[in-house]
């Protein structure tokens, strides 16, 4: 019974992230006691690659594929490639690219669930049917909240 609940969560997430989405990412840097905010667009392409375009406060574009992530700094006209080997341990990016897996998903209530592999922890919360909030700490111990909107 538990397995079917987890499968439905992974299906929900896969379906949500197959949509064109807008997002607002807020980062709380406790060391500096400051908030940083960026806005952008998340789009899954027909070949299953993902385009993430940050439009504010600076312009960047990320192309996520099964083999690499390409980072385009649009203001400085620079491109950097990160190989799969460098990002394979990032749980959230791996799930976005390869699909969500119920293995590490735990539902804490009707609209909230957690993905935790022991190294990384992501809290997902449906604010409503068109808004999904993801909360996590990055490798610099900065708390990030990303709200994705359909």
Percent of the chain with pLDDT over 70: 95
- Taking alpha carbons only, the member of 72, 67, 121, 53 closest to residue 97 is 67
On whether the CB atoms of residues 41 and 21 are closer than 8 A, the answer is yes
- Taking alpha carbons only, the member of 85, 92, 99 closest to residue 48 is 99
Give the model confidence (pLDDT) of 22-38 as tens digits: 999 999 877 778 889 99
The full set of domain ranges for the chain reads: 2-149
Q: Stretch 91-117: mean pLDDT, rounded? A: 89
Domain 2-149 has CATH 2.50.20.10: yes
- Please report the pLDDT score of residue 2 as a whole number: 39
Give the model confidence (pLDDT) of 51-84 as tens digits: 999 999 989 999 999 999 999 998 888 999 999 8
Alpha-carbon torsion angle 144, 49, 114, 143, nearest 10: -10
- Taking alpha carbons only, the member of 96, 97, 117 closest to residue 105 is 117
């Amino acid at each position: 019974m538990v397995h079917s609940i987890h499968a439905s969560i992974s299906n929900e997430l896969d379906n949500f992230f197959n949509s064109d989405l807008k997002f607002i990412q807020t980062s709380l840097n406790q060391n500096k006691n400051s908030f940083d905010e960026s806005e952008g667009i998340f789009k899954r392409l027909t070949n299953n690659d993902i385009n993430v375009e940050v439009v504010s406060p600076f312009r960047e574009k990320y192309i996520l594929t099964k083999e690499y992530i390409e980072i385009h700094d649009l203001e400085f006209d620079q491109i950097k490639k990160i190989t799969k080997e460098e990002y394979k341990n990032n749980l959230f990016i791996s799930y976005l690219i390869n699909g969500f897996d119920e293995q590490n998903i735990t539902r804490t209530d009707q609209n909230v669930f957690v993905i935790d592999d022991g190294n990384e922890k992501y809290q997902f919360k449906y604010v409503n049917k068109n808004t999904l909030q993801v909360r996590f700490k990055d490798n610099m111990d900065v708390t990030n909240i990303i709200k994705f909107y359909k």
